[in-house]
Amino acid sequence: MTSPEARRRHDQLAESIRHHEHAYYVLGRPEVSDFEFDRLEQELRELEARHPELITPDSPTQRVGGGPVEGFQPVRHGIPMMSLDNTYSPEEVRAFLIRVQKRVPDAALEWTVEPKVDGLSISLRYEEGRLACGATRGDGTTGDDVTANLRTLRSLPLRLASRDVPRILEVRGEVYLPLSGFRRLNVEREAAGEEAFANPRNAAAGSLKQLDPRITASRPLAVVTYGVGAAKDGDLPATQTGLLDWLRDLGLPVPGIVEVARTPDDVLNAIASLDQRRARFDYETDGAVVKLNDLALRELLGATAKAPRWAMAYKYPAAQAETRLRAISIQVGRTGALTPVAELEPVLLAGSTVSRATLHNEDDLRRKDTRIGDHVVIEKAGEVIPAVVRVIPERRSGAEVPFEFPKACPECGTPAVRDATGNGSGTGVVWRCPNPDCPARIRGRIEHWCSRGAMDIEGIGEVMAAQLVGAGLVRDVADLYRLKREELLGLERMGEKSADNALRGIDGSKERDLWRLLFGLGILHLGQGGAKALARAFPDLESIEQAGLEQLTAVDDIGDTIAGSIVQWFSDPVHRDLIRRLQRAGLNLQSAIYRPVDAPTAGPFSGKTLVLTGTLPTLTREQATEAIEAMGGRVASSVSRKTDYVLAGDDPGSKLEKARKLGITVLTEDEFQRLRNDPSPPLAERQSSADH
Ligand code: IVH
């Protein structure tokens, strides 16, 4: 490679890596897999090895990781959080094992092989057995203080199970989103018109780096611990396996699977066996971590500037395949977002045939210089939707055609607008079709209204929604309620049975509770949880329509963004008219779950707000909620000045502390059960005198 060429490639690679570092470390939204990212870094390192004159102090190879994000306090780790050397090659693992053995020729080495959990590394500082601080890795030396957020993780003990631990103990581990929780979260986000997370790691990062711990609390994050950083005044076990047992005994979650191996063959077998089993874990693993079991030997080996010499990560390659990009189509969502989709020559990838993959957004298309007819590499890593990760310019024939991102909506021709608020995540630019009457958007709205989580109209799915809109029978959800049997029967391939089924479903939906209707309207940012909160706080739709920002934000679980979006929605005359038509069609606009503060159900908790925290000895959360509601109370998710009582069980977490700070009366389950059976003496007399 000649020098100007090398320089150009260097600049390209550096640019690309910086972009991905920003997306990954700062925004928590990677656009390529680790595998692809590592490939870029590797190419840059090799290029710089051949052309050292290209190395600049700001080259991505000259730094490790990113800095703390704004808004969190910086925390200096007692012992730096290093990264791991990693490889995709079993031979390099073998070479590593032999290298270590050479440094300690007389030792009979023992290795542990653990899953590499694909989450966010964290350091948990326990002082005298109590969680004092939790921090992200940051640049390895200084991270972000995310204690308030970490405290919301139910699996993380606030106090260790034994006091016989070092006075200061930094436990190292990973915060992740279990796959089940990840899927659920994405369903909710999509339903609320918010962009789905690309993978569980993104979702975990986005959830942990929330300035508002209540948002973190609503995400089902989990934690696993696998190591120790600084430890002062106290002893540690002598081996990794001993350490994991010890951490587990202290109440900390540890990896479920840890293999011990002696020979290099055993280590490689353990890695392969983990690969076999990892599909069944409830978390995503991107590799296996091989560690020297003996902690004293680790000391002896030490570390390089970046990583310890006693450990290595083997990364499982993401499934990739090469195919040809036939065309690029544009998908129009319910909110008008235009998403480019790759139409591919079908190719087998990780056990299924893939003919479509996401191209993310316009920026991404440009950066990769994607052209129609290009040979492309597509990838599917774990839970990631298949994506085009790069094009193969060497395979171009010259007949490839650059793609012009449409300036108008492909469905209705309305000029697209750049959404300044983007997709809510900061990466990429979102173009939206601003036309509320766009057929694609109407289809999306009808589908959403009929979906199981909203009005639950069984007879109408994606296909029928498209038919109804296509035939001009339905332009908004109110039109559904005027449909006639003959009209339906006039549709192509529509049998009597299907028509009757749809009509029955539509008719039945008139009785649905208000929260379903609210959610079904598709107000931006208003998810199911928010819709239920509104339906509990307001008796009917009219009072929500008339409520101002202040009244709306006074409702637990309704923040400024949702409240603003609701007010804006109702200020549109088209929407107000839609509501009137729904009303005339006979839809229920009253809330059955409304719990008025002024005229509460009679009972010991009449008009009171309770918050549950911790595990109760006998009642589940659902049973406790039911009991409270039956006694006239309501259950909120977070403690505030509006809270009257906190019902606390074991491992109560930060809610209990907050309650104490605010002087809110705390009940045990025992006390609660007594009140349930014998509502006297009145609760008011038991309430603490603290001002809240
Ligand atoms: S041990 C000196 N064990 O992988 C670093 N790390 O690529 C010792 N990770 O930053 C780390 N699972 O966030 C270790 N079982 C495991 C792990 C693990 C995931 C992460 C960790 C680390 C990164 C390095």
> Which amino acid type is present at position 601?
T
Is residue 231 within 8 Å of 169, Cβ to Cβ?
A: yes
pLDDT of 69 strictly over 60:
no
Name the strands in the sheet holding 168-176, side by side, starting at the edge strand that comes first in the sequence: 130-136, 120-127, 168-176, 222-232
Q: How far apart are CA 280 and CA 283, in angstroms?
A: 9
Is residue 175 within 8 Å of 120, Cβ to Cβ?
A: yes
pLDDT of 598 strictly over 90:
no
Ligand 1 binding pocket mutation candidate from 77, 121, 123, 228 (most atoms within 8 A of CB):
121
| Ligand 1 closest atom vs CA 291 | 1
380 noted as active-site residue: no
The mean predicted confidence, pLDDT, of the chain is 87
Is residue 335 within 8 Å of 192, Cβ to Cβ?
A: no
- Give the model's pLDDT for residue 32: 85
**pLDDT single digits (tens) 355-380:** 999 898 888 888 889 999 999 999 98
pLDDT of 681 strictly over 70:
no
Q: How far apart are CA 196 and CA 202, in angstroms?
A: 10
Q: How far apart are CA 470 and CA 309, in angstroms?
A: 64
- CB-based contacts of 270: which residues, under 8 Å, 6+ apart? 113, 259, 261, 288
Lowest mean pLDDT among 56-65, 147-156, 182-191, 544-553: 56-65
Ligand 1 centroid to residue 159 C-alpha, Å:
24
Ligand 1 centroid to residue 184 C-alpha, Å:
26
**pLDDT single digits (tens) 476-519:** 999 999 999 999 999 988 899 999 999 999 999 999 999 999 99
**pLDDT single digits (tens) 614-626:** 888 888 887 888 7
Q: How far apart are CA 113 and CA 24, in angstroms?
A: 27
User: First and final CA of the chain: distance in angstroms?
Assistant: 72
Give the 3-state DSSP-derived string for 316-359, with helices as H, strands as E and coil as C: CCCEEEEEEEEEEEEEECCCCEEEEEEEEEEEEECCEEEEEEEC
Strand, helix or coil at 459?
A: coil
Q: How far apart are CA 223 and CA 238, in angstroms?
A: 24
Q: Write down the residue that tokens 């060429």 correspond to.
A: 5
Lowest mean pLDDT among 114-118, 153-157, 273-277: 153-157
pLDDT of 423 strictly over 90:
no
Ligand 1 binding pocket mutation candidate from 112, 139, 175, 289 (most atoms within 8 A of CB):
289
- CB-based contacts of 98: which residues, under 8 Å, 6+ apart? 264
Crossing angle, helix 573-584 and helix 560-571, to 10 degrees? 80
- Give the model's pLDDT for residue 29: 67
- Give the model's pLDDT for residue 325: 97
pLDDT of 424 strictly over 70:
no
The sign of the dihedral angle between the CA atoms of 350, 351, 352, 353 is positive
Q: Considering only CA atoms, which residue is closest to atom 13 of ligand 1? A: 121
- CB-based contacts of 132: which residues, under 8 Å, 6+ apart? 125, 126, 147
Residue 282: name the closest of 122, 147, 155, 131 by CA.
155
pLDDT of 449 strictly over 70:
yes
Ligand 1 binding pocket mutation candidate from 33, 38, 88, 117 (most atoms within 8 A of CB):
117
Ligand 1 centroid to residue 312 C-alpha, Å:
9
- Give the model's pLDDT for residue 8: 92
Ligand 1 centroid to residue 79 C-alpha, Å:
15
102, 116, 642, 655: the catalytic one is 116
Ligand 1 is surrounded, with C-beta below 6 A, by 82-84, 86, 114, 116-117, 121, 174, 226-227, 255, 289, 308, 311, 313
- Give the model's pLDDT for residue 260: 97
